[in-house]
Amino acid sequence: FKTLHEINLRGQRVFIRCDLNVPLDAAGRVADDTRIRASLPGIQQALQQGARVMVTSHLGRPAEGRLEARDSLRPVAERLAHLLRTPVPLVTDWLDQPFDVAPGAVVMLENCRANPGEKANSRELAHRMAALCDVYVNDAFGTAHRAEATTEALARLAGEACAGPLMASELQALGRALAAPERPMAAIVGGSKVSTKLAILNALAQRVELLIVGGGMANTFLLAAGQPVGKSLCEPGMVDAAREVMATLKARGARLFLPSDVVVADAVSETALPAIKPVAEVGGSDLILDFGPQSMRRLVDELETCKTIVWNGPLGVFEIEKFSHGTRMLATAIANSKAFSIAGGGDTVAAVNQFDVADRIDYVSTAGGAFLEFLEGKTLPAVRALEDRAN
């Protein structure tokens, strides 16, 4: 597909679809501006070329045609203005009321997902948006797994369509890790449920030399391996699926890493008393809440030999200090490793930030769901639309 720098933007009306779906705090202020910062290069590039820039995004999941105050992009526009050091007026009724943008200026178009037809990928809506711009830029990798009017139909209908720099670098980094990875390759997949990540586990089992399963999912795999898990979060109904993942790995000569010791407690709380136990000694009332130190030493050694590492999901309940050591050691091991490393997904990015390793991981994706679907090997509809335009 085309990228932004291939197009002359001077004086053009440029519509940039970003993913500015950021968390807000209780007072409605931006709680984490990572996605806004990651979107700056594309917006700045257009501004520097003297384009008339319109930026939009979805925020949350508003009902169509009814925008509640909490779904407004106003705090996002304010943060963007602060970061760009330039005013970013919010245009609310942008489909129905005419508005003007001067060359070298930028406006924010209110939450695009509130427009009727957005979620249904309406061509009629996309036609109306196409009439507002000369160039459409998709820089919203985090929303690339959604076929919505601003991510899919508009890419097909706008006069000119291209990928923004964030979209391009996400695809390049993730593509490099998946298409032709240097081997051995390891993937760490953590999180609570096998059922929500089975497709990713199956896809990765076909690619990697080492699959590390963490979090609540590890308990289901331990159960599948005949180990006791006490009262731990696990899905007995997914044991067969876990065994299939194990069989896929084995048939390829690849390995599954499971903990040999774990941190247990009787409750998921700040005040619970943790104990370290070999997995075989996990008792009937124990909750497994983290990998143990012996497992972590083994895991760190294993990761040292890898040349590509993909990380999604924590090993334990890292939000609570006493159950965070496994995830912290994992984050540090990935940061110290010479492997090409990528990390992505909401919890994972929170862990990367909490343990302050973002600068030392080769690529930290801004995406959650899109990152996971990419790992599954799916073609993302927004990316396909850009590719079709280029052909």
CA separation, residue 380 to residues 68, 88, 110, 204 (Å)? 29, 30, 25, 17
* Least distance CB 47 / ligand 3PG (angstroms): 24
Q: Name the residue nearer to ligand 3PG (CB basis): 61 or 243.
A: 61
Query: Which entry of 35, 52, 128, 207 is annotated as an active-site residue?
Result: 35
Q: Is residue 319 a known part of a binding site?
A: yes
* Least distance CB 179 / ligand 3PG (angstroms): 23
* Least distance CB 134 / ligand 3PG (angstroms): 26
Tokens matching residue 251: 């048939």
Q: Is residue 64 a known part of a binding site?
A: no
DSSP 8-state assignment for residue 359: G
Tokens matching residue 343: 């990390």
* Least distance CB 260 / ligand 3PG (angstroms): 34
CB 23 within 8 A of CB 142: no
CB 108 within 8 A of CB 79: no
Q: Name the residue nearer to ligand 3PG (CB basis): 32 or 244.
A: 32
d(CA 365, CA 209): 22
Query: Which entry of 50, 104, 230, 346 is annotated as an active-site residue?
Result: 346
* Least distance CB 64 / ligand 3PG (angstroms): 14
DSSP 8-state assignment for residue 378: P
d(CA 54, CA 345): 27
d(CA 200, CA 194): 10
Q: Is 326 a catalytic residue?
A: no
Longest dimension (CA), the chain: 69
Tokens 């979107």 label which residue? Answer: 39
Query: Which entry of 2, 74, 119, 193 is annotated as an active-site residue?
Result: 193
What residues make contact with ligand 3PG under the rule CB under 6 A?
Answer: 19, 21, 61, 142-143, 146, 368-369
Q: Is residue 59 a known part of a binding site?
A: yes
* Least distance CB 80 / ligand 3PG (angstroms): 16
CB 365 within 8 A of CB 342: yes
- Give the 3-state secondary structure of residue 324: coil
Tokens matching residue 34: 């990572």
Strands 185-189 and 90-91: unpaired
Query: Which entry of 369, 377, 378, 384 is annotated as an active-site residue?
Result: 369
**Where are any strands of DSSP class E within 105-245?**
106-109, 135-138, 160-163, 185-189, 210-213
Q: Is residue 183 a known part of a binding site?
A: no
Q: Name the residue nearer to ligand 3PG (CB basis): 143 or 219.
A: 143
Q: Is 338 a catalytic residue?
A: no
Q: Name the residue nearer to ligand 3PG (CB basis): 21 or 248.
A: 21
Q: Is residue 233 a known part of a binding site?
A: no
Q: Name the residue nearer to ligand 3PG (CB basis): 192 or 248.
A: 192
Q: Is residue 66 a known part of a binding site?
A: no
CB 114 within 8 A of CB 64: yes
CB 355 within 8 A of CB 131: no
Q: Is 346 a catalytic residue?
A: yes
Q: Is residue 197 a known part of a binding site?
A: yes
Q: Is 368 a catalytic residue?
A: no
Q: Name the residue nearer to ligand 3PG (CB basis): 21 or 312.
A: 21
Binding residues for ATP: 197, 319, 345-348
Which residues participate in catalysis according to the annotation? 35, 193, 346, 369
Binding residues: 19-21, 35, 58-61, 113, 146, 197, 319, 345-348
Binding residues for (2R)-3-phosphoglycerate: 35, 113, 146
